[in-house]
Structure 1
């Protein structure tokens, strides 16, 4: 190592916080940091490897020679190794060569805190810093409004590698190209947010990004870190929020990754019953270890602070919460109280959300959680996990199952489409039609719809209409907005050529208009997480397969009436009860000819009469279009 005075980024306070699991900015200390010491330019390295006997930095600057540049272990039993290498800098490639105290085992590891990695399949870390100058101050100042739980929240879920490809060269679009193509498309389609499937560096394309090795680096597949910042910046400049998929649940066993890092089970739990995920053939973080908790919470904060993310969608929360998740008897052990809950995970998630919201009160954390675990999206001070929202998996399963049925049988299954309202306000729910629903033989959303082509597209319009008028925020996976026929294939671009055909162009236009209706109709979002924002008119007209309800905002003059005709039969003079007198004006109809519908509508304003119906004082007679959702506005 260089003959300069000892140098460290760690203070005693840093070390104490790290050991206690309370240091939430570890990326400022660990990893490789370009610096100047005694007038000499170079790079300071720091890595956590408490079971190491010796740690070398090997790289393109020393012919990958072990022992050429040794790090020094700190005296304070923190297990941190650090040192300064002169005359290297940005762009140098490196790994840590670690000799363990455990039988002299040697590992060669990428830097867990590296800001950039080589393009897969190469696996080394790259010394990096960027001086990107953000231009999104306007968004950052006002995003509290856009990200609030009483704001419209329509999310477009995207896998960057397969959203669109450069056809002539058969390659990914770069972050720069996406900053033009994707941003313009999302803005034109009236989405409020984009959610990216994991952008962090990962070695294996078929993992879709969910098997991460580089937690602090955007993948090099699409460009440099500052180019990803440019993409985020462009989204913000166009008033579009960005949510990042974040994976604290598991990580792969790849030799250069976090597993068996220093010859010991450093990041993963040493007990395979808690430390190995059988379904995904991956390792599970040791949430009982303070330093690991600090690593993970620091990583969440990193993406919010350094990359201006507006939210984190936390993957596979159910797999984290339960010790018996996807395990048979004998493959798990109960907690100290005899239960199946992972108590360390519960405390970790609470701590995570407390720190995120304390530092960034204008973002959202969203849990992908599929069980009935209570109070996932309730504040920690009342005993909840502290997430901002939770995916409503029950709604998704029931709705897709219902719409797959031929309309002639739907009257026997009306409960499937109405049951979600029995628990809709127990959490702050997001309604997801995600990538998981269009893979592995499940068919595309359009492919699930019954009937001839006209009916399939009418059903799809009706399904999306039900989603947008149901309480909760919305998420749709890419391709669903224009009726992708095929299942999603991560290796290929979406089938954009389908937009040459009128039915697909119509459904795309329909989704665009649904987003616009949602954003401009306060009753559809202001009380989306409160039972005050929803009132049934009728949920039990099984024979006609019709449901009707009122959505309410802060201002009663904004209330709207929603009626869904779930069969292809046109129903004239259909009576619905309403609570006030005046008139009803049709403001949205999925059967409009502009969407590819048949054009059946209520052209004139409908007079509300003092005829009690559906338990209401007043009522009105309307015309129901086939397989359609109609939205009415009250007119005094």
Structure 2
């Protein structure tokens, strides 16, 4: 068991070092210094501290002083811009706001930027809270590094807590963190995912933003319960052997009156110039990464979630919007950097410091960049000029693959390169392959609805997509609902359509995903050399006429997996493929099996009911480019994975 933290009231007192690091922009633990920190022992009292350098006066209005501004005043801390003070009689559960008198004498009511807890939206007050919690995930924390390493099988289930599941008897009620814990753990384990990734759980005023417009950078949303309730959810997932990645948004914030915007009457967290400080796409404010205190605020938020909440990783949202000064801006509506370029040098320096400090302070964690451009070396070390992320989302793979599979199969022969192109850059970064929430909203339709053809072909195309995603180099990410082929696109205010699992075709997709995850974990060839030379070797890359593809995944010590894809509804008998290993190859996965909802064709031509294992024999061929060749029937709209029989564990060799 992890020990309880020290009394926050005592440890929140500011030191000279705190002031120095804050002014320098390198403080990583402001959550323990700023905000509201209650006394754990003795008479109730809370220490408050807030950054408001341009305020004339600051006070705390709260439940115990009648919400009267000016009664409980804070005092300035030298020239730091910080205001602090101790208020007796205030303890956990007390609602409060800061009352700031700006330079014009106007009174501003602001929620605490460092609040540990908040009222449930639409209310906007902060809540004094003690974050003491007794963790029970020591075993997970000691072993988690290997579970998200570059050579590990990482399979991520992306979840929006507000719509993953709701009570059928009360569909408008959000389930609590406690109510979600057990069914979520059960489902993730049954499907075989290694990690969950939560869309932002940080407090946010508008549910329709899905959490991406954050006001509480240190507080989990109270929509589902208390901070300890969220800790218990993370704890439960860890105890079940499931990692937790949190979406985190340091790129922009909403303009809500109680939030960060014009916090002390000036543009404190954001740029004053709207060409730098206003985001036209989202109607939000852009952080000023050139300001030291802002960088310290954001650094501390990241470290807060990784430290206090035991998160195993942060997925950093909208990185491209941070990196480019002209992101989504027409000519003349952006300000070049000091060298006349479009790169946001302050944001680059911030991201590098973020990644350096995270890997230094939180061993075993990872950072993930949602970066949609060709910015170089996103997942390279900072000492070599990279941004320092552990992984980068491969948005190009997602766009190319979905564009290809949305085409009618009769036209795919003309676009064969859309699946082969990725191999030209797959080794330039450490990639995650995302089929995320962004692809199933705003009229885009669900993955199943995107697929062409009649219902049978739609399901077959979806199975082909998922089997290809799991087989190609890169870690995997799948948004909730797509693991069972939800027809409707995602709705943030309604539950997933769980009733579909009672239908054979949807149950077949879920069964396939479970098997994909099973073999992905068991076959080292499918994950050991992601992003490394030789991890993928093409066997058949140019058969556009038949829309056939075949490649080898190669692991350490000669471990092999042969992946064959047929992107047409026409079976392809007599397909000859050269392989480096003679002898029998076992088909460990065939997405056309009837159990998955397919037609039941086997690669060896036998009837599906035949109890014999599905195997093909690779015959020696002394004159070929490879030592052996095998011949198989490739089922329609299907993916097949084959492994040399002798490389399977003994218990698997004896099973179908």
User: Which category of TM-score, normalised to the shorter sequence, fits these structures?
Assistant: over 0.9
The answer (yes or no) to whether the contact 2:571–2:636 under 8 Å persists in 1 is yes
Classify the secondary structure of the residue corresponding to 1:166.
coil
How far the C-alpha of 1:268 sits from its partner, in A, is: 0.7
How far the C-alpha of 1:634 sits from its partner, in A, is: 1.7
2:439 to 437, 440, 451: 437
Partner of 2:463: 461
Classify the secondary structure of the residue corresponding to 2:620.
coil
Q: Does 1:632 align with 2:642?
A: yes
1:528 to 530, 537, 542: 530
Partner of 1:394: 396
Classify the secondary structure of the residue corresponding to 2:73.
coil
TM-score relative to the length of structure 1: 0.97
The answer (yes or no) to whether the contact 2:12–2:32 under 8 Å persists in 1 is no
Partner of 2:14: 10
Partner of 2:626: 616
Partner of 2:450: 448
Judged with a 3 Å threshold, the aligned counterparts in structure 2 of structure 1 residues 614 and 219 are, in CA distance, closer, same or farther, namely: farther
Pairing of 1:182-331 with structure 2 (within 5 A): 182-331=184-333
Equivalent-residue separation in structure 1 for 2:75 and 2:623 (angstroms): 80
1:606 to 611, 616, 621: 616
Partner of 1:348: 350
Classify the secondary structure of the residue corresponding to 1:172.
coil
The answer (yes or no) to whether the contact 2:11–2:32 under 8 Å persists in 1 is no
Partner of 2:116: 115
2:59 to 56, 70, 73: 56
Classify the secondary structure of the residue corresponding to 2:257.
coil
The answer (yes or no) to whether the contact 2:12–2:37 under 8 Å persists in 1 is no
Please list the CA deviations of residues 533-561 of structure 1 after superposition, one character each: whole Å capped at 9, or x if unmatched. 111111100111100000011121x3111
Please list the CA deviations of residues 14-41 of structure 1 after superposition, one character each: whole Å capped at 9, or x if unmatched. 101110111111111100111279x653
Partner of 1:3: none
Equivalent-residue separation in structure 1 for 2:239 and 2:169 (angstroms): 30
The answer (yes or no) to whether the contact 2:377–2:385 under 8 Å persists in 1 is yes
Partner of 2:46: 43
Unaligned 5+ runs, structure 2: 1-9, 605-613, 647-656
Equivalent-residue separation in structure 1 for 2:87 and 2:615 (angstroms): 77
Equivalent-residue separation in structure 1 for 2:624 and 2:167 (angstroms): 56
Equivalent-residue separation in structure 2 for 1:451 and 1:613 (angstroms): 42
Equivalent-residue separation in structure 2 for 1:231 and 1:155 (angstroms): 17
Partner of 2:29: 25
Please list the CA deviations of residues 135-181 of structure 1 after superposition, one character each: whole Å capped at 9, or x if unmatched. 00010011111121111110000000000111212211110011111
Equivalent-residue separation in structure 2 for 1:13 and 1:145 (angstroms): 35
Unaligned 5+ runs, structure 1: 1-5
Range with bigger deviation, 331-340 or 224-233: 331-340
How far the C-alpha of 1:13 sits from its partner, in A, is: 1.1
Equivalent-residue separation in structure 1 for 2:154 and 2:114 (angstroms): 32
Equivalent-residue separation in structure 2 for 1:576 and 1:439 (angstroms): 40
Partner of 1:567: 568
Classify the secondary structure of the residue corresponding to 1:173.
coil
The answer (yes or no) to whether the contact 1:538–1:614 under 8 Å persists in 2 is no
Classify the secondary structure of the residue corresponding to 2:490.
coil
The answer (yes or no) to whether the contact 1:576–1:613 under 8 Å persists in 2 is no
Classify the secondary structure of the residue corresponding to 2:56.
strand
Classify the secondary structure of the residue corresponding to 2:463.
helix
Partner of 1:404: 406
Q: Does 1:578 align with 2:582?
A: no
2:75 to 62, 72, 79: 72
TM-score relative to the length of structure 2: 0.94
Equivalent-residue separation in structure 2 for 1:560 and 1:131 (angstroms): 48
The answer (yes or no) to whether the contact 2:379–2:386 under 8 Å persists in 1 is yes
The answer (yes or no) to whether the contact 1:323–1:340 under 8 Å persists in 2 is yes
The answer (yes or no) to whether the contact 2:116–2:131 under 8 Å persists in 1 is no
The answer (yes or no) to whether the contact 1:403–1:459 under 8 Å persists in 2 is yes
How far the C-alpha of 1:612 sits from its partner, in A, is: 7.0
How far the C-alpha of 1:602 sits from its partner, in A, is: 3.0
The answer (yes or no) to whether the contact 2:603–2:635 under 8 Å persists in 1 is no
How far the C-alpha of 1:385 sits from its partner, in A, is: 0.1
Equivalent-residue separation in structure 1 for 2:536 and 2:445 (angstroms): 32
The answer (yes or no) to whether the contact 1:7–1:84 under 8 Å persists in 2 is no
Equivalent-residue separation in structure 1 for 2:130 and 2:494 (angstroms): 33
The answer (yes or no) to whether the contact 2:11–2:33 under 8 Å persists in 1 is no
Judged with a 3 Å threshold, the aligned counterparts in structure 2 of structure 1 residues 613 and 598 are, in CA distance, closer, same or farther, namely: farther
The answer (yes or no) to whether the contact 1:613–1:619 under 8 Å persists in 2 is no
How far the C-alpha of 1:596 sits from its partner, in A, is: 1.0
Equivalent-residue separation in structure 2 for 1:66 and 1:635 (angstroms): 76
How far the C-alpha of 1:232 sits from its partner, in A, is: 0.2
Q: How many residues are paired up?
A: 627
Equivalent-residue separation in structure 1 for 2:444 and 2:29 (angstroms): 41
Please list the CA deviations of residues 409-457 of structure 1 after superposition, one character each: whole Å capped at 9, or x if unmatched. 1111100111111111111010000000001111110001111111111
Equivalent-residue separation in structure 2 for 1:340 and 1:613 (angstroms): 55
Equivalent-residue separation in structure 1 for 2:453 and 2:617 (angstroms): 35
